[in-house]
Chains A and B, each alone.
Chain A
Amino acid sequence: MDSLSDARGMDASRSLLAGAGQLAPPVRRIAPQAQPTVVEAPASGNGHTTTLGGLAPKLQRLPRADTTPLERMRTDRLSIAYGEKSAVNEVTLSVRQGEVLALIGPSGCGKTTLLRSLNRLVDLTPTAKRGGRILLDGEDVDSFDVTHLRRRVGMLFQQPNPFPMSIFDNVAYGLRERGSKKPSRRALEPAVTEALHRAGLFEEVKDNLEHPALALSGGQQQRLCIARSLAVEPEVLLLDEPCSALDPISTTTIEETIVGLRSEVAIVIVTHNLQQAQRVADHVAFMYLGDLIEYGEVEQVFNAPVAERTREYVSGTFG
Chain B
Amino acid sequence: MSTHAQSSRQLGLYARLRGGDSWSIGDRLGVAAAWGAGLLLCLIAAAIVLYMLVRGIQYLRLDEIFSHPVAGTDQSKNGGFLDPLEGTLLLTVIGTAIAAPVGVGIAVWLTEYGRPAGLARAVESCIEIVAGTPSIVLAIFGLLVFQQGFFSFLSYEATPGVAFGRSFFTAGVVMSLIALPLIVGASREALHSIPRHVREASYALGKDRISTIRRVLLPASRRGIGTGVALGMGRIVGDTAIVVILLGASLQNDPEGSIPGLSLLQGTGSTLTTYVYNNSPVGEGGSPEKAYAAAFVLLLIVIGLNFAVDLITRGRGPSWTR
Question: Which residues of A are interface residues toward B (Cβ below 8 A)?
Answer: 119, 121, 124, 147-151, 154-155, 157-161, 163-165, 173-174, 176-177, 214, 225, 228-229, 232, 245
Contact = CB atoms under 8 A, between A and B. Distances in A.
A177 B211 CA distance: 9
Given A160-B321, A165-B215, 9 more contacts: A151-B205, A155-B204, A157-B197, A160-B320, A163-B215, A163-B219, A164-B220, A225-B201, A232-B205
Given A148-B206, A165-B219, A214 B319 contact: yes
Interface of B: 195, 197-198, 200-208, 211, 215-216, 219-220, 317-322
Shortest beta-carbon contacts, A-B, top 9: A164-B318, A151-B206, A155-B204, A174-B205, A147-B206, A150-B206, A159-B321, A164-B220, A157-B197
Contacts of A164: 216, 219-220, 317-318
Contact of A157 (B201, B211, B317, B318): B201
B205 A150 contact: yes
29 contacts: A121-B200, A121-B203, A121-B204, A147-B207, A148-B206, A150-B204, A150-B205, A150-B206, A155-B200, A155-B201, A159-B197, A159-B321, A159-B322, A161-B197, A161-B201, A163-B202, A163-B215, A163-B219, A164-B216, A164-B220, A164-B318, A165-B215, A165-B219, A173-B215, A174-B205, A174-B207, A177-B207, A232-B205, A232-B206
A174 B211 CA distance: 11
Contacts of B201: 155, 157, 161, 163, 225, 228
Contacts, number: 73
A154 B203 contact: no
Contact of A150 (B203, B318, B319, B321): B203
B205 A154 contact: yes
A219 to B, nearest CB: 13
B319 A163 contact: no
Nearest to A173: B205
A39 B216 CA distance: 45
Given A148-B206, A159-B195, A163-B220, A245 B200 contact: no
Nearest to B219: A164
Contacts of B195: 159, 161
A157 B322 CA distance: 11
A151 B201 CA distance: 11
B133 to A, nearest CB: 34
Contacts of B208: 147
